[in-house]
Amino acid sequence: MTYDPAGSLADALDNRFVAAPSDPAAHHRVQRLRALGLGTAPDPEFDELAAKIARMAGTPYAMVNFVLDTHQFFAGLYEASSTGAPALEAAQAAARGPVARTMDLEHGFCPHVVDIKHALVLDDVCAWPRFAGNPVVDEIGIRSYIGAPLVDSSGMVLGTVCAISSRQSTWGSPGVEMIKSMAAEAMELIARRERGGS
């Protein structure tokens, strides 16, 4: 008798992960983001919005994220001090240091929000087999996620606003309304810039 690890529990757990969805709009999204001057540099106004999202969601991390064709870019990023999220920060530091402004499309949950075009609330990521195998769960200890799409006037999804934590959350309907209102605030900022305002 020989041992064949192909049918092992580890393989079964790896197979539960749903990779980033196919994204036929990626090319057009990148063109739109370039036209808007977004998705290539950190933005202080988006950083402020990310801090507001983190406060409202009660999380140590929040982002204003533009989903490109090859990666995600956090134009707005908030990271709490080490006293706010010691477990997550320790895991992040061990894995690759502070949160970077870019992330692979296969990492995290924002590409799924772009795909489904509505808010996604994962109070406990591990309770959802399609999301529990995402690399951010093990690599940086993400346990909960809330995000909403950034939809422009043409109906194109440009990216997301989101918040993450190393602990389970109980956002419920109030959390959904909050993250949707933060997406609307981000889109108003983008629309104002497009109109030439400040």
60-93: per-residue pLDDT in tens?
A: 999 999 999 999 999 999 998 644 444 444 444 4
pLDDT, average across residues 192-197: 84
What are φ and ψ of residue 83, in 5° steps? -75, -20
pLDDT, average across residues 142-155: 94
Check: CB of residue 141 under 8 Å from CB of residue 91: yes
pLDDT of residue 2: 32
pLDDT tier for residue 198 given thresholds of 50, 70 and 90: low
The more confident residue out of 4 and 19 is: 19
pLDDT, average across residues 125-154: 89
Inform me whether the pLDDT recorded for 101 exceeds 70.
yes
What are φ and ψ of residue 61, in 5° steps? -140, 145
pLDDT of residue 132: 84
Inform me whether the pLDDT recorded for 28 exceeds 50.
yes
pLDDT tier for residue 148 given thresholds of 50, 70 and 90: very high
pLDDT, average across residues 117-141: 89
Q: What pTM was computed for the model?
A: 0.81
pLDDT of residue 72: 94
Share of the chain above pLDDT 90, in %: 62
pLDDT of residue 13: 39
Check: CB of residue 169 under 8 Å from CB of residue 146: yes
pLDDT, average across residues 150-171: 95
**Closest CA relative to residue 101, chosen from 149, 42, 44:** 42
Spatial separation of the C-alpha atoms in residues 47 and 59, rounded to whole Å: 15
Spatial separation of the C-alpha atoms in residues 103 and 50, rounded to whole Å: 16
pLDDT tier for residue 130 given thresholds of 50, 70 and 90: confident
Spatial separation of the C-alpha atoms in residues 167 and 96, rounded to whole Å: 20
pLDDT of residue 197: 61
Please provide the average confidence, as pLDDT, over all residues in the chain: 83
